[in-house]
Amino acid sequence: MVALFALSVCVAANGSWLKHVPDADRRKVNPYAGQPDAIAAGAKMFADHCAQCHGPDARGHGKRPSLRSGRVQSATDGEIFWLLRNGNLTRGMPDWSFIPGPSRWQIIAYVKSLGARSNSNLAPAAVRNAPATLIQAEQR
């Protein structure tokens, strides 16, 4: 059972879910994109819900995929929003439809900001307000 689960999580990292995203969802625009307060709020939500699998620094955890990868960073906000709403249940990714839509967009704003941070383009307000554990993880 554990091996099966680990395998399914591993396969989830291949991005096969992307081809299931309807065009209308793919084109959705994040109303909070780039907003420092939204990124800080998203960091908080990320620490509560996502860090357990993807790691506090979003670099992946065991076989769980990194959210700083090119595949995730190049996905549209709408595609990630679709994934959070639907999950990828057979691959180990739960759906997060119980997180209200605005909060999900905030998480996406935070995840997308990680790509910018990798290029030393930090959003100062977001970093200032992010949970301490996240900041520590970023600095490691």
Partner 1 sequence: MITLRKISSGARPTCSFGFLCLAVICLSGGSLLISPRAAAQEPPYFVTYSHALEEPGNLEVEMKGTTASPQNGNRFLSGTLELEYGATAWWTTEVYLTGQTTANDSTIFNGFRWENRFRPLLREHFINPVLYVEYENLNEADRSLLEITGHDGVADYIVPNAIERGQTERSLEMKLILSSNFRGWNFSENFISEKDLNESDPWEFGYALGVSRPLALAASARSCTFCRENFAAGLELYGGLGTTDSFGWKATSQYLGPTIGFTIPRGPTVTFSPNFGLNANSLEVIYRVAVSYEVQQVFGRFHRSQQ
Residues near partner 1 (CB under 8 A) are: 1-2, 5, 8, 36-38, 40-42, 44-45, 48-49, 52-53, 62, 85-95, 97-103, 106, 125, 129, 131
Q: Which is nearer to partner 1, 17 or 69 (CB)?
A: 17
Question: Shortest Cβ distance from residue 94 to partner 1 (Å)?
Answer: 4
Q: Which is nearer to partner 1, 2 or 70 (CB)?
A: 2
Residues 5 and 81 sit within 8 Å (Cβ to Cβ): no
Whose tokens are 């605005």? That residue is: 102
Q: Which is nearer to partner 1, 30 or 74 (CB)?
A: 30
Question: Shortest Cβ distance from residue 74 to partner 1 (Å)?
Answer: 23
Residue 76 structure tokens: 């549209």
> Could you give the CA distance from residue 126 to residue 36 in angstroms, rounded to a whole number?
5
Question: Shortest Cβ distance from residue 47 to partner 1 (Å)?
Answer: 8
Question: Shortest Cβ distance from residue 79 to partner 1 (Å)?
Answer: 14
Residues 46 and 107 sit within 8 Å (Cβ to Cβ): yes
Residues 91 and 17 sit within 8 Å (Cβ to Cβ): yes
Residues 10 and 63 sit within 8 Å (Cβ to Cβ): yes
